[in-house]
Amino acid sequence: MKNYTLILTLLFSFTLYATAADYDNDPIKTLLAFDAIPAITKPQFVPAASAKLDTDAPVIGVTFNDESHAYSLYLLNGHEIVNDVVGGEKIATTW
């Protein structure tokens, strides 16, 4: 959680650098190092029955070839990307 505060502080501090012209120039802004937010490359899953999730928790849902995966949005805040395979389909879930 501390890590997170740091990241958000860094992100917000860049507010000052945005300019009205950046829509035309579309610069790439570097805010953090590569992988400072760790994407998930070897995702682990549990069955619905043993998932500890509030009933109203927001999830992303995907289904391919009768296989379905759900990802908690709050959990994805700290990872942004899940490299996954669902029903044989190799997917990148991004948030």
Partner 1 sequence: MYSRELDGKTYTFGVSGKLWRDALLMYDHQTRSLWSHITGEAIQGQLKGKKLKPLTSIPQIAWKTWRKNYPQTKVLSVGKRESITRDNYADYHKSQRAGVSGTRYTDKRLSNKSLVIGVQVQVKDGADGIDGHDGADGQDGADGQDGADGGVVELGSSQRNPTQKQSQDTGSTFYRAYPLTQFTKNAIINDSVKGVPLLIYHDKESFATAVFKRIVDNKAVVFTSVVGYIAQDNTGTEWNLITGIATSGKYKGQRLERLSAVNIYWFAWARFYPDTTIYRP
Residues 50-79 that bind partner 1 (CB under 8 A): 51-64, 66-75, 77-79
**Shortest reach from residue 55's CB to partner 1, in Å:** 4
**Shortest reach from residue 24's CB to partner 1, in Å:** 10
| Alpha carbons 35 and 63: distance in angstroms, whole number | 27
**Shortest reach from residue 66's CB to partner 1, in Å:** 8
What are the CA-CA distances from residue 11 to residues 37, 64, 74, 75, 89 (Å)? 12, 35, 18, 19, 33
End-to-end CA distance of the chain: 19
Give, as ranges, the residues between 22 and 41 that touch partner 1 (CB under 8 A).
22-23, 26-41
